[in-house]
Structure 1
Amino acid sequence: MKRKNYTTFAAIHLGSEMLSMQITEYHNTERYKVVECCNRRIRLGEATFKNKIIPFPLVSEICEILIGFKRLMKEYGVEEYVMQATTAVREASNQVFLLDQIYNKTGLVVDVVDMPKEIYTKFVAIRNTLKAEKISTEREGMLMMDISSGGLGVTLVRDEKICYQGNFHIGIIRIKESFERNRRESMHFNKALTEFLSSTIGPVRNELGDSKVRYLVLSGTETELLLRMLGLDEQQKVHRIKAADFHAFFDSMRQMSLPQLIQVYKLPENVAELVLPTVLLYEQLLHLIPAKEIIITADRFIDGIQLLHIGNKTNPVMRKELEQELISLFHTIGSRYLYDKKHAQQVERLSLIIFDKIAKAYGMGEHERLLLRATCILHDIGKYICMRSHSI
């Protein structure tokens, strides 16, 4: 009997609009194949963002879907799994009840990730795709923007270093819920929404300043719809579009009301309601930093879960590269708050000597070591506000 030389892994994502599972057979980050994909649409975001609670019928529906996923995992002989929940579950007041029900009915343990980890997980998948496409930031910067149902992540990369990372609670479903139906159908909706978005992402504008970027990389829940409206192949992994063509598309879209969108693009009403917030948000983002080229990737959060798991298990080089990118962000934050770099590096050096001697005895690993490095680099930035009580 031939010996099995691969591991079977399941990545499960409980998102605001979709419950997804991806089963992969892997040897390492270069040798793996996805053998099964399952996606079930759920209306979790609308319920949670409006009332801050997951309705009991929806809890039962989620558990039933996961019972089916668990049977499929057994059929494929899944040996490892990671299940993560994002925005809608993170903000639900009855989160613990949902997680308890899932565990009791399926045995699955859910990790509810915060927004920075959510955006970073997606970032890892996108960066891996762009490197495969030979798209680099060595000479010119890249602004990566991921729009989900409940949030927006903005990451500026230059010279292969993360120079800025910000997260904002202005996802597509959240924007839609911020405006009542009669306001969305009004001819003044475009102007009101544009002003709302402009004021919300103002901090990004201040942070980026005069930064120059070549690429604006877009990803998120509504990119498939955007590609369809642009007449592009949704199955293609990466699309490269000239900024001028993107602006022309926005100009035509901006003139349309909700009924016109439904008629022109033959869209269902519930889908058309998401188009306008998406397009206007993209337009506002383009005004932040004029880019020469727009890149749209098909990478999803679940792809990031898979890549991080396989990479951490099998690829120390990739793990080191990702760690260095994060450390570059720590130093960028430190510089912004006028930290003493030499002092921070000395504290880091001494702390790591102690950590490496005692880590094994206390059950600590690479993740704790990275957190310690961040702490050492940023431990004094409170001095930017007050020298006397900077430790607070």
Structure 2
Amino acid sequence: MRATTNRITGIIDIGSNTVRLSVYQLTVSGAYRVVDQGRWSARLSQRMAADGTLPEEAVNELAEVLRHYVRICAKHGAERVRAVATAAIRQAANREDVIRRLRSAAGVDIEILSGEEEARIGSAAMLNSLRFADGFVVDIGGGSTEITLIRERKVAQAVSFPIGCVNVSARYGLGEAAVEQATLTAIVAETKRLLQEADWIAQHPGLPLIGLGGTVRALAKLRQREIDYPFPHLHGYELPASDVSATLDDLARLPVPQRRKRPGLSKDRGDVIVPGLAILRGVVEHARSSTLVVCGTGLRDGLFYETCRPYPPPQSNDDVLEESIRNLAALYPAAPEGHLQQVRKMAVALFEQLNIVSPLPAGSRRLLDTAARLFRIGAMIDYNDCADHTFYMLLHTHWNGLSHREKILAAGIASYRSASSLKRKLSPYQSMLADGDAETIGKLGALLLLASALDRSESQAISSLHISVKGKHLKLLAESEHPLPVEQMEVGNMAKEFKKIWGMTPDLQTIQEDHSPA
């Protein structure tokens, strides 16, 4: 019998360009992650017949893919499979027949989402995974484009337009050849004409454009490859909106076979990246956005939240980070919760005192607090070299609420052991760091190292800690339930390293609490 600690849910997104599967695991503690994925390039919008129907061959092919996805879900023990269809099937003249045949062949019910539902669900994915309070969410699919206005982390307006990278490619007869500037201009102009139907889009100049879907991800991959970007994720990547036009003009000059050879661009997107970027350029120009942000989550994630975690999206930027830390800690419970909370408490107390003596940059407390809750996560791989594993995991696992640069800082703080090891870890990421970042990481990392030493026995024996600076000495007077020989030894072991960073030597003295009857 399957353990009841995990609930498995499969989500299938039958898009106009691609059919995707995500299999999610939700534990009894509320932790969640993706455990399997599938992707099939469908090009349903491209395969529509002249009368607007989806041909039998395409339906049979789609049915086989759905059967395969349902089998994958069954192998994982999925309790539920939720399948949705978007623009291509929504717009098909024979959509009811298509849905009936797919249900019969694959044994799964299929919901047809309206454009407004697509926009709402995609926006929910963004709100659960990025910390932006205001902006436009744009999702360029194969057969439609959804645009949502977010104000104060709530959906203010949403609209769907029947224009996507696949149906635009078909309508303008884009084949294997390079695309002329006149054609690009026409696609951009058509996009702007459609956007005028929603007058609110042009009324908020300067808001960031937060992009979902394959077109924006493909653009970001190309740009990261071109600049040798060292961070291993797309989600949260920011680039100037001017990069859209520059990349579009560059790729349009190339015939499709040459585009497919471009490093960083997947081969199956070589023919649709140009019309997708032309639509995106129209949105950027009409909305007058200056920044484009990549959102790595999308419709499937929004459906998961709606299906399995039906809570309101995080209400503030800090809530996004808080939920992500909670999820990581629940997925990788590498240390007793009491120890983590004690180290966090000690680290914050040290910070508040020493920040008066030597002020640290804005946002430092949040980074230290984050690192204090995750500094033992690497022990899930191996307790030996825990710090190196922690650094790797915090840079390569998917978590939200910090920028790419801030994640590097948090990972450096959480894994800090010495200035020399920090320099080695940060070396590949120097291009992303600002002046003074290494010094900030070192100071906060040393504070966390000292806080960890103060609960080395993991007994939470220190009930209160009195901190004072006397010349070149950091006086720590701890009230405790019992003597602290292990903590005193650990503080002594790291004192030299602490002095290198802070210019003062920590000295731990204890006062044992009196529990004798009055």
Report the counterpart of residue 373 of structure 1 in structure 2: none
What is the count of residue pairs matched by the alignment? 308
Are 1:136 and 2:103 counterparts?
A: no
Report the counterpart of residue 11 of structure 2 in structure 1: 11
Report the counterpart of residue 287 of structure 2 in structure 1: 289
Q: Which amino acid aligns with 1:75?
A: K
Select the residue among 233, 241, 258 that pairs with 2:238.
Answer: 241
Report the counterpart of residue 328 of structure 1 in structure 2: none
Report the counterpart of residue 24 of structure 2 in structure 1: 24
Q: Deviations over 1:320-340 (max 9, x none)?
A: 99xxxxxxxxxxxxxxxxxxx
Higher relative contact order (Cα pairs below 8 Å, separated by 6+ residues): 1
Are 1:70 and 2:82 counterparts?
A: no
Report the counterpart of residue 277 of structure 2 in structure 1: 279
Distance in 1 (alpha carbons) for counterparts of 2:180 and 2:78: 51
Report the counterpart of residue 343 of structure 1 in structure 2: none
Structure 1 spans left out of the alignment, 5+ residues: 322-392
Q: In the TM superposition, what is the alpha-carbon distance from 1:125 to its structure 2 partner? A: 0.7
> What secondary structure does 2:297 align onto?
coil
Distance in 1 (alpha carbons) for counterparts of 2:57 and 2:259: 36
Are the counterparts in 2 of residues 229 and 265 from structure 1 also a CA contact under 8 Å?
Answer: no
Distance in 1 (alpha carbons) for counterparts of 2:9 and 2:181: 50
Q: In the TM superposition, what is the alpha-carbon distance from 1:88 to its structure 2 partner? A: 0.9
Q: 1:56 to 1:298 in 2, by over 3 A?
A: same
Q: Which amino acid aligns with 1:96?
A: E
Distance in 2 (alpha carbons) for counterparts of 1:318 and 1:224: 23
Matches within 5 A, 1:1-392: 3-27=3-27, 30-48=30-48, 51-130=51-130, 135-137=131-133, 141-181=134-174, 185-204=179-198, 206-232=199-225, 236-243=233-240, 246-248=241-243, 250-251=245-246, 253-254=248-249, 257-259=252-254, 263=258, 266-267=261-262, 271-312=269-310, 315=311, 318=313
Are the counterparts in 2 of residues 13 and 20 from structure 1 also a CA contact under 8 Å?
Answer: yes
Are the counterparts in 1 of residues 259 and 270 from structure 2 also a CA contact under 8 Å?
Answer: no
Are the counterparts in 2 of residues 28 and 311 from structure 1 also a CA contact under 8 Å?
Answer: no
Q: In the TM superposition, what is the alpha-carbon distance from 1:229 to its structure 2 partner? A: 2.1
Q: In the TM superposition, what is the alpha-carbon distance from 1:42 to its structure 2 partner? A: 1.7
Q: 1:84 to 1:66 in 2, by over 3 A?
A: same
What root-mean-square deviation, in Å, do the aligned CA atoms of Structure 1 and Structure 2 show? 3.1
TM-score (norm 2): 0.53
Are the counterparts in 2 of residues 7 and 26 from structure 1 also a CA contact under 8 Å?
Answer: yes
Q: Which amino acid aligns with 2:48?
A: T
Distance in 2 (alpha carbons) for counterparts of 1:257 and 1:242: 20
Q: Which amino acid aligns with 1:6?
A: N
Is the radius of gyration larger for structure 1 or structure 2? 2
Q: Deviations over 1:274-297 (max 9, x none)?
A: 222222222222222333432111
Q: In the TM superposition, what is the alpha-carbon distance from 1:157 to its structure 2 partner? A: 1.5
> What secondary structure does 1:68 align onto?
helix
Q: In the TM superposition, what is the alpha-carbon distance from 1:96 to its structure 2 partner? A: 2.1
Q: 1:292 to 1:128 in 2, by over 3 A?
A: same
Report the counterpart of residue 440 of structure 2 in structure 1: none
Q: Deviations over 1:77-116 (max 9, x none)?
A: 2112211111111111222222222222232111111111
Distance in 2 (alpha carbons) for counterparts of 1:225 and 1:4: 39
Distance in 1 (alpha carbons) for counterparts of 2:135 and 2:14: 29
Q: 1:255 to 1:231 in 2, by over 3 A?
A: closer
Percentage identity across aligned positions? 15
Q: Deviations over 1:119-169 (max 9, x none)?
A: 211111111111xxxx232xxx31111111111111111223333222211
TM-score (norm 1): 0.69
Distance in 2 (alpha carbons) for counterparts of 1:85 and 1:67: 15
> What secondary structure does 1:273 align onto?
coil
Distance in 2 (alpha carbons) for counterparts of 1:265 and 1:186: 18
Structure 2 spans left out of the alignment, 5+ residues: 317-518
Report the counterpart of residue 380 of structure 2 in structure 1: none
Q: In the TM superposition, what is the alpha-carbon distance from 1:263 to its structure 2 partner? A: 3.8
Q: Deviations over 1:174-197 (max 9, x none)?
A: 211221248974452223223222
Q: Which amino acid aligns with 1:253?
A: L
Distance in 2 (alpha carbons) for counterparts of 1:103 and 1:123: 28
Q: 1:49 to 1:144 in 2, by over 3 A?
A: farther
Distance in 2 (alpha carbons) for counterparts of 1:128 and 1:161: 11
Structure with the higher helix share, 1 or 2: 1
Are the counterparts in 2 of residues 48 and 91 from structure 1 also a CA contact under 8 Å?
Answer: no
> What secondary structure does 1:189 align onto?
helix
Q: In the TM superposition, what is the alpha-carbon distance from 1:26 to its structure 2 partner? A: 0.8
Report the counterpart of residue 362 of structure 1 in structure 2: none
> What secondary structure does 1:239 align onto?
coil
Distance in 2 (alpha carbons) for counterparts of 1:249 and 1:2: 49
Per mean C-alpha deviation after superposition, the further-off stretch among 102-111 and 120-129 is 102-111
> What secondary structure does 1:217 align onto?
strand
Are the counterparts in 2 of residues 151 and 169 from structure 1 also a CA contact under 8 Å?
Answer: yes
> What secondary structure does 2:272 align onto?
helix
